[in-house]
Structure 1
Amino acid sequence: MGRLVPAVTRALDILELFLQGDGTLSAPEIVQKTQLPRTTVHELVTTLAARSYLVPVPEQQGRFRLGVRTYQLGSRYAEQLDLAAEGQRVAREVADTCGETVHVAVLEDADVIYIAKVDSTHAVRMVSAAGRRLPAHCTSVGKMLLASLPPDALEEQLGKGELQPMTPNSITDRDKLRAALQDIRETGIAAEHQESNPDVSCVAAPVRDRSGRVVAALSISVPVTRWTEQREEELAELAAKGASDLSGRLGFRGR
């Protein structure tokens, strides 16, 4: 592998800052977050804006947001990734059946990234977005994906740092997480009860590719006001069917 180019690394660091918060930043905020010199930040932001990777925020002088070029790159990536396209289609079918929010997510290191999402039809619903990143151990999709890792890969992930909580219900003890993952392997369904959001519970099932490898997970998220044991069983069955349908579209022919 060749040498990393510092200027390109810094430009990408700046772009990735816009994935946080409300998606807008000023140059002084970028300086504070990156600890780069003001002149360097000014030059990089000016270059990114000239190439339409950043654009000024209307009526907010001095603030920037991601520009159309980042959208074009993301759209081209999604077009080439069958999992995202097919995941969105299946998520729509599942959401049309149950009326709840449906996600498809993949594992990246110790986090999950949502690559497809369809909103609930209810007035009270989960607020989220495709592209969002969350700690895997706090989500049903994440626990499903962690449970599908080979033992060595799982232990490598668990050894990377503390299990930070998102709510008081989040699992932060490694032994408890291992036990929960073993239960998931036995049942084929993952659940989380207010572990990533104090107002939401979820169920998830594994999505497999042509080779049978688990490459994603499909989840159904429900506000706790509509969550019951019977509803959990119904949605677990629906999530399993949706994940199976998506696996079939990816070429999986097993059970």
Structure 2
Amino acid sequence: MGRLVPAVTRALDILELFLDGDGVLSAPEITRKLGLPRTTVHELVTTLAARSYLVPVPEQPGHYRLGVRNYQLGSRYAEQLDLAAEGRRVAREVAETCDETVHVAVLEGMDVIYIAKVDSTRAVRMVSAAGRRLPAHCTAVGKMLLASLPEEELGTRLPGPGGKPLRAMTENSITSPDELREALARIRVRGIAVEERESNPDVSCVAAPVRDSTGRVVAALSISVPTIRWNGRRCAELEALAARGAADLSARLGHRSAA
């Protein structure tokens, strides 16, 4: 475990003081409660206020309350909890239908993070875990999520045309940024992503987008199949099932599909 940063610990200690009482504190009260030097508290409070984690109370000069940034972080945390919980429920239903491994993943930078996973009951199945991180361009869920980004945002994440090759996980991985852009364009048209042995030499996957109440793609649902059970007909069946599962999860998040 890494070393704790004293300044960060003290800043968090200050924020947690506001969980008790009426939620309003002055710098002297913070100093007394935490036993910190007055100058240290002044610097930390000033920094937290500058970042909107604390705001001055107009009717009480020298007093502070929690700022909007805490609400924004809490709301995002709540959204992720809902997505993960609902994702597990839908993934379980999809897995019961096809008896293959089902994931729900979100995008972070150029990686995907699996937030929900339900295993196949078959002896031969994909081995993974919730919380695992993989390069997005090597996975069906990742390519689905990258394809859903606005072009300008995608441009900030991918190397430019002819740029540095992307990391390969297998000999089938896409390593050319230009080739990846072409693949993403096809995925946008189809609304479904497929990868064949690009992240694991023994596994292929299909994935569909998950949308929230605003219509924004916030995750993707995938079905992973060992190569021994993979063929064109099975791929088509699982594409339809992944699309239905993703639509179900989207509906649970408040998305209303077009008629």
Q: Give the TM-score normalised by the residue count of structure 1.
A: 0.69
Q: Given residue 172 of structure 1, which amino acid in structure 2 is its aligned partner? A: T
Q: Which residue of 2 aligns with 1:135?
A: 135
**4+ runs of 1 displaced by more than 3 Å?**
4-9, 77-80
Report matched runs for 1:23-42 at 5 Å: none
RMSD of the alignment, in Å?
2.0
Tell which deviates more after alignment, 175-184 or 160-169.
160-169
Whether the aligned pair in 2 keeps the contact of 1:105 and 1:217 (CA below 8 Å) is yes
Kept in 2, the 8 Å contact 1:78–1:84? The answer is: no
* Structure 1 residues 140-167: Cα deviation after superposition (integer angstroms, max 9, x where no partner): 0000000000001101110396410000
Are residues 79 and 121 of structure 1, via their aligned partners in 2, closer, same or farther at CA, if it must alter by over 3 Å?
farther
Residue ranges of structure 1 left out of the alignment (5+ in a row):
10-76
Match of 1:126 in 2: 126
Q: Based on CA coordinates, which of the two structures has the bigger radius of gyration?
A: 2
Which residue of 213, 216, 223 corresponds with 2:216?
Answer: 213
Whether 2:186 is the aligned partner of 1:179: answer no
Number of aligned positions between the proteins = 185
1:72-221 correspondence runs (5 A)? 81-159=81-159, 162-221=165-224
How many Å apart are 1:175 and its aligned residue? 1.0
Query: Equivalences for 1:223-242 in 2 at 5 Å?
Result: 223-242=226-245
SS in structure 1 of the partner of residue 122 of structure 2 = coil
Separation in 1, partners of 2:98, 2:106? 22
Alignment partner of 1:250 is 2:253: yes
Provide closer, same or farther for how the CA distance between residues 80 and 188 of structure 1 changes in structure 2, counting only shifts above 3 A: closer
In structure 2, how many angstroms separate the alpha carbons of the residues matched to 1:224 and 1:141?
A: 18
**Any stretches of 5+ residues in structure 2 without a counterpart?**
10-76
Does the CA-based 8 Å contact 2:159-2:177 persist in structure 1?
no
Following superposition, the deviation at residue 127 of structure 1 comes to 0.3
The one-letter code of the counterpart of 1:247 is S
Distance 2:152 2:6 in 1: 33
Match of 2:130, SS state, is: coil
Indicate the percent of aligned positions where both proteins have the same amino acid.
74
